[in-house]
Amino acid sequence: MFSFNHFNFNVLDLEKSLKFYDEALGLKPIREKNAEDGSFKLVFLGDEKTDFRLELTWLRDRKDPYNLGDLEYHLAMTAGDFEAAHELHKTMNVICYENEKMGIYFINDPDGYWIEIIPQK
């Protein structure tokens, strides 16, 4: 039997990403792992409600933005107050796509990953 544990995004600017995930989604660092030689840092973020974690991986020697290509994957999050979340993300200017017919929208993180925002049912 398996259960979800975490999902990973590689990030270019860890501090910028941590700020984004805190301000946009309320995700907080739960734990981190640092390479002894400083070559990488892993920071696991949590929502304080579920056991699922988002792992942010920062690589010291990475200087160029990640090429996400035509990847169609995304992380999805449920908003308890969808209207307030939409207003916050609109103010932050991070909404990259809205599907009003489906009642969802997507935001971009600093590295270009898409995060779907779904209303609570």
- Decide yes or no: CATH 1.20.1260.10 for domain 6-61+73-119: no
The pLDDT value recorded for residue 71 is 75
Please indicate whether residue 100 is annotated as part of the active site.
Answer: no
Structure-token match 């779904």, residue found = 118
User: Would you say 111 and 69 are in contact if contact means Cβ atoms under 8 Å apart?
Assistant: no
Tokens of 23: 């301000």
Collapsing DSSP to helix, strand or coil, 81 comes out as coil
Tell me, what's the pLDDT at 72? 79
The CA distance from 106 to 95, in Å, is: 6
Per-residue pLDDT of 56-112, as tens digits, reads 999 999 999 999 988 778 999 999 999 999 999 999 999 999 999 999 999 999 999
